[in-house]
A and B are shown apart, each in its own frame.
Chain A
Amino acid sequence: MTTAHTTAGTAAGTAAGAAAGFTPDESFTPEGEYRFENSREAVRRMPFPFPDDDYMYSMNLEPHVPAGDGALRAAFDIDEHYVSECRHRAQMLEELPGVHYPALPHMLEAQWDLLELIFESYARDFPEHFTLTKNGNEWRWENRLLGLDDTFTFGDPSTLPMDPMEYATRQAQGEFVVLEEKDGTLVIGAGMTTQRADYSLQFNLGMSFFEFHGPVPKLHEMGILDRALKFLLRMKPGHPVRRVNWSLTVHPRLETSVETLPDWAPDRAKVTPENAGDLVHLRIELQPLHRLPRSNAIVFPVRTYLVSLAELVEHAPDWAKRMHRALASLDPELVDYKGFHRYHGAAVAWLAQHDDGAPLDTGYPWNGGIQPGAV
């Protein structure tokens, strides 16, 4: 479990994002030739998802309290890629309207809840970049990273140029899926998902917790889904929980939805033991879940971090060793499900060159477990 080093209030003012600076001109698409790179600091602050040399699904839910000074310090983390990711979102929404942002009409109250949660969190955790000023329901929102200074009436959609959820999440890093509680389960009612890892939100809209997890192997049999749902249904506003998940993606490509699979799946056949270090990216998903106060909905954010195997070796050598072991011993069912059956061997072979077999600490890095390693 987590030890909180700071409270949300005192954490403000020491934002890691500002210190690292921003790289506003990156691209996550083939057209932009995947112009993307991580600084050393950006890599070492990531929520590295392998606590052990062996990896398997687990009930890895813990209270989402600030931990350390990396990605787990803020309620919603931003990093040096913030500006580029916001631009990527705008571009994806324009290219495929209706595919990445579906919202059922009865979710409007939850949309305002979400706007409030994101803006309050950003303003509290990164006051040098964001300011929220409330005068009753007249709100002023300043986003200096994107150059915005807007006023609107909270709760009145006519005072915003678009849905409140779209407005807020176009200025946020990561994806946001909003679920309503209905008949003892959670049903997907809206989502901003321009960084989907291999599923379709249009297709999943309206599905319940067990239905949209249908394609995942083992989860049901291991009893994880049952326990996770019970846990989530007991969530209270102000007491968020988090988990991490991971996958692999070829190229630093954020948008890997089922809809555009014909565009990106061929890349999976291009990986060799020689080029795996540059092509294969670890895709870390930080998922902090919140109960929303007015609507009683639950928001499931997915903040995605991409880092190439070569960057891991260069900036976080112990994490690269750990990843080698976790990948090498990964259950074949998970290899298939996560979609890297074709280049699993190449990635393991490439990483093997950088693993001397030294023993590594266990536990997540933000809980005092495995650290990135000396460089």
Chain B
Amino acid sequence: MLITGIKSRPVYDELTPMPSGLRHVAAGQGSGGGPLVRLLGVMTPEQRAVTTVLYSVESFTGRNHLAEIEGFRTAGLQVFPSNVEAVEGLDALLAGTTMGTRLYLAGSEGFIGTSMQVATRYGLNRDEVLREHAGSFVRRVWCAHCSHYTENVSRRVFECPGCGRHLVVRDHYSGRLAAFQGVKADGEVPGEMPDDEELDT
């Protein structure tokens, strides 16, 4: 079973204003505040005036860009203590939006992935969303055996909180589940583990 070098991972973009947008939603988390600040900086004042910003201060690396974001005049800023709440906030916001909305996402792969699940539910097309990865490479992992989702996994081998098995994280990514695949690490011979490593790509 192939663990690394699998070609199913999303390819990320760089956030730049989408001129065709009538309204903009920019959502970020932790280090993702950096790309948001850059985006807001290159928007025209007219674009900023129709941009709603959502920011979660939850961060794996400890970066917080809230003060810089607050420096921009936008249509509104919503601040959340956690990524889960920010994604819920995005859900509520998109429920009330109209055609012509453009979405910008920045942060960890897990945050971008779960936000994309919401965006897909509201029928946003791939060309109406830009995604920029920022910060650490921690992953959201789905356990193939008990279906538990673990956020912020930073090692190739970890213990699943759902079923207690040691899982190896494959580079295989499912957009629908917004997660990488975790499979029993010592499946063939108990205790015989694959090499562990930091997930830094």
Chain A 170-212: CB-based contact to B (< 8 A → 1; otherwise 0): 0000000000000100000000000000101011111100111
In contact, A215 and B187 (Cβ under 8 angstroms): no
Does A342 touch B at the CB level, under 8 Å?
yes
Complex alpha-carbon distance, A178 and B190, angstroms: 36
Chain A 243-274: CB-based contact to B (< 8 A → 1; otherwise 0): 00000000000000011111001101100000
In contact, A203 and B142 (Cβ under 8 angstroms): yes
How many chain-B residues does the 8 Å CB contact rule pick out?
24
Does A337 touch B at the CB level, under 8 Å?
yes
Question: Range of interface residues on chain A?
Answer: 20 to 34
Does B200 touch A at the CB level, under 8 Å?
no
In contact, A214 and B7 (Cβ under 8 angstroms): yes
Q: Which of A210, A220, A261, A339 has the most CB of B within 10 A?
A: A261
Q: From B6, B142, B176, B190, give the contact of A215 (CB < 8 A).
A: B6
- Which residues on the A side are within 8 Å of B176 (C-beta)? 205-207
Is the contact region of chain B dominated by helix, strand, or loop, or is it mixed?
A: loop
With A210-B7, A214-B6, A215-B1 already in contact, the answer to whether A203 and B181 are too (CB < 8 A) is yes
Does B152 touch A at the CB level, under 8 Å?
no
Does B63 touch A at the CB level, under 8 Å?
no
- Stretch of B35-43, B72-80, B167-175 on the interface side: B167-175
- Which residues on the A side are within 8 Å of B165 (C-beta)? 262
In contact, A262 and B187 (Cβ under 8 angstroms): yes
**Shortest Cβ gap from A296 to chain B (Å):** 20
- Which residues on the B side are within 8 Å of A216 (C-beta)? 2
In contact, B188 and A258 (Cβ under 8 angstroms): no
Does A217 touch B at the CB level, under 8 Å?
yes
- Which residues on the B side are within 8 Å of A265 (C-beta)? 184, 187-188
In contact, B8 and A259 (Cβ under 8 angstroms): no
Does B148 touch A at the CB level, under 8 Å?
no
With A266-B187, A269-B189 already in contact, the answer to whether A261 and B8 are too (CB < 8 A) is no
Does B92 touch A at the CB level, under 8 Å?
no
In contact, A211 and B7 (Cβ under 8 angstroms): yes
In contact, B184 and A261 (Cβ under 8 angstroms): yes
In contact, A261 and B187 (Cβ under 8 angstroms): yes
Q: From B6, B170, B188, give the contact of A266 (CB < 8 A).
A: B188
- Which residues on the A side are within 8 Å of B174 (C-beta)? 203-207
- Which residues on the A side are within 8 Å of B144 (C-beta)? 200, 203, 258-259, 261
Complex alpha-carbon distance, A260 and B184, angstroms: 10
| Residue ID in chain B nearest A257 by CB atoms | B144
Is the contact region of chain A dominated by helix, strand, or loop, or is it mixed?
A: loop
Q: From A202, A207, A269, A336, give the contact of B188 (CB < 8 A).
A: A269
Chain B 159-198: CB-based contact to A (< 8 A → 1; otherwise 0): 0000001000010111111000101100111100000000
- Which residues on the A side are within 8 Å of B183 (C-beta)? 258, 261
- Which residues on the A side are within 8 Å of B188 (C-beta)? 265-266, 268-269, 342
Complex alpha-carbon distance, A213 and B172, angstroms: 10
In contact, B175 and A206 (Cβ under 8 angstroms): yes
In contact, A212 and B7 (Cβ under 8 angstroms): no
**Shortest Cβ gap from B159 to chain A (Å):** 14
Q: From B142, B145, B175, give the contact of A207 (CB < 8 A).
A: B175
- Which residues on the A side are within 8 Å of B177 (C-beta)? 202-203
In contact, A214 and B172 (Cβ under 8 angstroms): yes
- Which residues on the A side are within 8 Å of B187 (C-beta)? 261-262, 265-266
Complex alpha-carbon distance, A266 and B177, angstroms: 28
Complex alpha-carbon distance, A220 and B5, angstroms: 12
- Which residues on the A side are within 8 Å of B142 (C-beta)? 203
Q: From B126, B145, B173, B175, give the contact of A261 (CB < 8 A).
A: B145
- Which residues on the B side are within 8 Å of A258 (C-beta)? 144, 181, 183
A sample of 24 cross-chain residue pairs with beta-carbon separation below 8 angstroms, ordered by A number, consists of: A183-B126, A203-B172, A204-B174, A205-B176, A206-B176, A207-B174, A211-B7, A211-B8, A212-B8, A213-B7, A214-B6, A214-B7, A215-B172, A258-B144, A258-B183, A260-B145, A261-B144, A261-B145, A261-B183, A262-B187, A265-B184, A265-B187, A266-B187, A269-B188
Q: Which residues of A contact B (CB under 8 A)?
A: 183, 198, 200, 202-207, 210-217, 220, 258-262, 265-266, 268-269, 336-337, 339, 342
**5 further interface pairs, Cβ-Cβ under 8 Å (given A216-B2, A260-B145, A266-B189):** A203-B144, A213-B7, A214-B6, A258-B144, A266-B188
